[in-house]
Every structure is written in C-alpha cells, then in structure tokens.
Amino acid sequence: MTSRRIDRILKSRPTVEGAGVHLKRAFGYSQVPLFDPFLMLDDFHTANPAEYLPGFPWHPHRGIETITYVLEGLVEHGDSMGNSGVIGAGDLQWMTAGSGIIHQEMPQTSPTGTMWGFQFWANLPADRKMMEPRYRDVKASEIPEVVLESGARVKVVSGTVNGVQGPVRDIVIEPEMLDVSVPAGTIFRHSVKEGHTAIAYVLDGGGWFDERRDPFAYEMAGAGWMDLDRPCLCGPETVVLYERTGSGIMVEAGESPVRFLFLAGRPLREPVAWYGPIVMNTQEELRLAFEEYEKGTFIKQR
C-alpha cells in the first residue's frame, strides 16, 4: 500500500448556527472545492444546555445529503416525509434531501450532561440533485465494530474494513465513514480508492497522520495571530485533508490513544452554487429553489 501524504491541516473554528447552537466548524463554505464531495463538517460538543438546546428548527434542504452522528446526548428529529424519532449515543441519521425536504433537529437535555455529535454534508451530483428524498436512522447496535490485529477498533458506518461492510450502502458518492480508535504507540492502515477524497477529524488523543514528522511539509491553517506552536502530532478538533494520490492512509498514535472520524468519497468536480441549506450547481437553480419554497411548491415527494 502506498500511503497518502497530508495535503493540509485545519483547526476547527467556533461558530453559532441554527437557533443558537454553539459548535466548531471543521470546514465549510470557504473551503469549497477542497473537500469535494463533502461540503461541511460541524462538531457540537458542550456541557452547557444553553449552547445546544436551541437546536435547528424547521428548515429546508435540497441537493445534498446530511449525516448526523451522536456520541453523547439525544437529538429529536422530524421531517416532511413523516419520519420522526430520537437518535442517541452511537446512533446515526443519514438523510438524502434530493429534490427537497423540510426537517428539524432538536437536541434534548443530555442524560450525561454533555452533548457531543457531528453533522456533515455530502454533495449530490447534478444528475441526482432532484432525486427522491430518502432517510435512514441507524442505531448503534447496527454499526459493526472491527478489532484489528494492532488492537485498533473501527466502527464501520459506511464502507468496508476487513471484509465487514457498514449498514449505510448504495450512496451516490461511494462514501466511507469510520469511527477509528488506535491504541497508544500502534499504527492503523486503511486502503482508500485512488482519486477519492480522504479526511480525518481528530476526536481525542493525538497521532501522526502520515509518515512524515515535519510540520512544515504541508499547509497548516486556522492558527491565531500569536499561535506560534506548529506541532506535527495532530490533536482534537483538527481536520486532516489527504492528497488524492496513494492507495491508503497510515495513522500512528502517540503516547496516548487517538480517536478520529474518517471520511472518504468520490469527488464530483462540478460547479457548486450554495446558499444557506440548499446546494445546487447554478445560481438559477438556487433562485428556483427559493422561489418554490416561498410559493409552497418546494416539496416534490411526501
């Protein structure tokens, strides 16, 4: 396996979204098309109910998939197709907005006192932007965990590890989504399809995400004006974007274990017209979407 090298590293940045939810944005609008086909990754992690209970009241989506993964806490949800429920610790919601859906995601008071979860957006290609919406709740018990010889533990949401396939399948961009925990001092290797975008987002601990030990070998963004520390080891709230050449990734944990989310997918290489919760290919398509929302004709399937 030819290990990929890091292209760049970014630090997540505080922001407020929805009706007042405090979160960290790992990447988003300003990074298009670096992360193609992924558009955005948000990390919401707080023990202050005032920072998560406002939630994300009813709002529309078109042209994308939204994926919500909860590590701690509870999120109540509902949508215009009649789906509703609650996702809790270890659960996942994978929603394809397609031609249009209106939904809400409302965090509830966390049983542990902490709310921690992630939402990322995946783009849809032009010929699937107006596909029929679809929705799936994936419970923690449905997500297989693979234990490798190195001791690494991998929860496989989408994709395949050691012949074990995740429950989310038949997705347009051929995504992989893994929750990976690597013991201290050990190495995790994983193959990636040639040309696919590959991303790691560090949740806990620290590790080296390629074979180099030179922090100036790649671009590092997101530092403050007096942040003079440029470590090679990547810690929490760090997003690693890999180069697109190479057949796999290599991650070595430091003196403590490292846990990270791994995302990979087929880049679309198409124009992106994005405003708010709607992502299309042209400004005219955006105009039409907002006109339909105002007229009440936005929803095509119920």
Model confidence pLDDT, tens digit, residues 117-127: 999 999 999 99
- Using a 10 angstrom Cβ sphere, with 0-12 exposed, 13-18 middle and 19 or more buried, the burial of residue 14 is exposed
- Selection from 149, 178, 181 nearest residue 161 by Cα: 178
Distance from C-alpha of 232 to C-alpha of 258, rounded to nearest angstrom: 14
Q: Between 29 and 171, name the one with better pLDDT.
A: 29
288-298, pLDDT tens digit by residue?
A: 999 999 999 99
Tell me how long the chain is. Answer: 302
Collect all residues with Cβ–Cβ distance below 8 Å to 68 and sequence separation of at least 6: 75, 77, 87, 92, 93, 95, 105, 117, 118, 119
Question: Under a CB-based contact definition with an 8 Å cutoff, are residues 233 and 254 in contact?
Answer: yes
Where helices occur in 60-128 by DSSP H, the ranges are: none
* Mean local confidence (pLDDT), 194-211: 97
Give me the pLDDT at residue 221, please.
87
Collect all residues with Cβ–Cβ distance below 8 Å to 188 and sequence separation of at least 6: 148, 150, 152, 180, 182, 250, 251, 252, 253
Q: Which residues pair with 239 in a beta bridge?
A: 10, 201
* Mean local confidence (pLDDT), 158-181: 94
Where helices occur in 57-192 by DSSP H, the ranges are: none
- Going by pLDDT thresholds of 50, 70 and 90, the confidence category of residue 302 is low
Give me the pLDDT at residue 282, please.
98
Give me the pLDDT at residue 170, please.
80
* Mean local confidence (pLDDT), 38-60: 97
Q: Between 231 and 57, name the one with better pLDDT.
A: 57
Model pTM score: 0.95
Lookup result for tokens 């919401």: 44
* Mean local confidence (pLDDT), 43-67: 97
- Selection from 293, 14, 172 nearest residue 285 by Cα: 293
211-226, pLDDT tens digit by residue?
A: 999 999 999 987 776 6
Give me the pLDDT at residue 1, please.
84
Does position 230 have pLDDT exceeding 70, yes or no?
A: yes
First to last CA, the chain: 46
| Average pLDDT value over all residues in the chain | 95
Give the amino acid at 155.
K
Compute CA distances 301 → 101, 130, 222, whole Å. 8, 10, 41
Instruction: Give CATH for domain 6-220+228-295.
Output: 2.60.120.10
